[in-house]
A and B are shown apart, each in its own frame.
Chain A
Amino acid sequence: MNEVKKTKYWNPYIGGIMLGLVLLSANFISGRGLGASGAIKSAVVTTVNTVMPSHAENSAFYSEYNESHPGNPMKSWLVFQVFGVLVGGFLSGTFAKRLKFKVEHSPKISSKRRLIFALLGGALFGFGSQLGRGCTSGSALSGMAVLSLGGFITMACIFGTAFALAYFFRKNWI
């Protein structure tokens, strides 16, 4: 039984090398790193362009974005890549028999509390990723691989803050 549990996930160093090779191929093929938050931004801009076109024309962010990104915002590298992430994650979960609808949380808290914190955390992460020009994958990981100063700063701030606040949110996790 113990052995089964141990082989549940890949060895992290093997996983890291594989992830590094994926990142390397993104750089070799497309001259850029991986990302995720940019795809949601594309979806937000598309929604606003479609539902409230006059608002998109008159507000600073959308008009700046549409001017600098001609064409359909959904026809972007990151959007296609994120669709791939959904497929890839699903395939891995299928092979490993991990497909299951559930709310994962510490036994000390309720599902409801977990979902509220997930929503709040997501909102902060979404906002921060826009201010920081990319999230953990786009700014921190991909930035570090190309030695970008900004990538290193953002990486240090994300992990440093999470460590500094871990004590206050421990009930959620341990």
Chain B
Amino acid sequence: MGPLVVNEFISPDTNLFLAFLIGIGFGFVLESSGFSSSRKLAGMFYGYDTTVLKVFFTAAITALVGMLFFSLFGWVDLDLIYINPTFLHSAIVGGVIMGVGFIMGGFCPGTAFCAISIGKLDALAFIGGLFLGIVIFTEGYPLFEELYKAEFIGAPTMNEILDIPRGVFALGLILVAFGMFWVGEWAEKKFPREEY
């Protein structure tokens, strides 16, 4: 049955309309969880507010387990789900640069759109920066092309790399996530901060 658009249950234009609705859900959840506040997001890196960790990992394991059940029930064909390709070098260098941007700017692109929708002007500056950074990349592309395309290893999944069943890796990830939630709760008690 799923994914609906790949199996032509819905048309590409319907898919775009549903993208808009999915986006509404995405923005609503981000804002309601507090991701429209840069001080709340940055709190993760100082231990005073680990909302990011809790929401991020709960979301990842919810979607992961959901996909496993959908696949088990025959509702979705996992082979048709897009898996982002792995280019080892650019994944690492890009991730490190994004990490610097995160601690300096206090947002990531999705949360910045969420924050600007309720009037945060620092998010507007961040989005201006995003445009600038992307233009620097696209204009300077010949300089970065080699790094961008280096060490392509296909689109492997973690369980394939470790050669274990998908469900076993998922279980391990859930246990790791629960361990991190415990650390997060501990850190918030140890590094308390007044409301902001």
Contacts and interface: CB of A to CB of B under 8 A. Distances in A.
A40 B45 contact: no
Interface in A95-122: 96, 98-106, 114-122
A137 B36 contact: no
Interface string A130-152: 11111111111111111111111
Contacts of A120: 101, 104-105, 129
A43 B42 CA distance: 28
Contacts of A78: 19
B60 interface: yes
Nearest to A121: B105
Q: How large is the interface on B (under 10, 10 to 19, 20 to 34, 35 or more residues)?
A: 35 or more
A104 B157 contact: no
Contacts of A165: 99-100, 103
Interface in B120-157: 120-123, 125-139, 141-142, 144-145, 147-148, 153, 155-157
Tell me what chain A mostly uses at the interface: helix, strand, loop, or mixed.
helix
B100 A130 contact: no
Interface residues of A, number: 124
B166 to A, nearest CB: 7
B129 A118 contact: yes
Nearest to B104: A121
A89 B121 contact: no
Given A30-B18, A102-B121, A121-B104, A127 B133 contact: yes
Interface in A38-57: 40-41, 43-45, 48
B117 A87 contact: yes
A51 to B, nearest CB: 12
A12 B54 contact: yes
Contacts of B121: 101-103, 115
Contacts of B64: 144-147
Contact of A133 (B59, B87, B96): B87
B33 A81 contact: no
A93 B35 CA distance: 11
B88 interface: yes
Given A84-B26, A147-B166, A127 B57 contact: no
B2 A28 contact: yes
B9 to A, nearest CB: 9
Given A133-B91, A139-B95, A153-B86, 8 more contacts: A20-B61, A28-B76, A87-B24, A115-B122, A127-B101, A147-B64, A157-B98, A172-B106
Interface of A: 5, 8-10, 12-13, 15-37, 40-41, 43-45, 48, 59-62, 75, 77-78, 80-93, 96, 98-106, 114-166, 169-170, 172-174
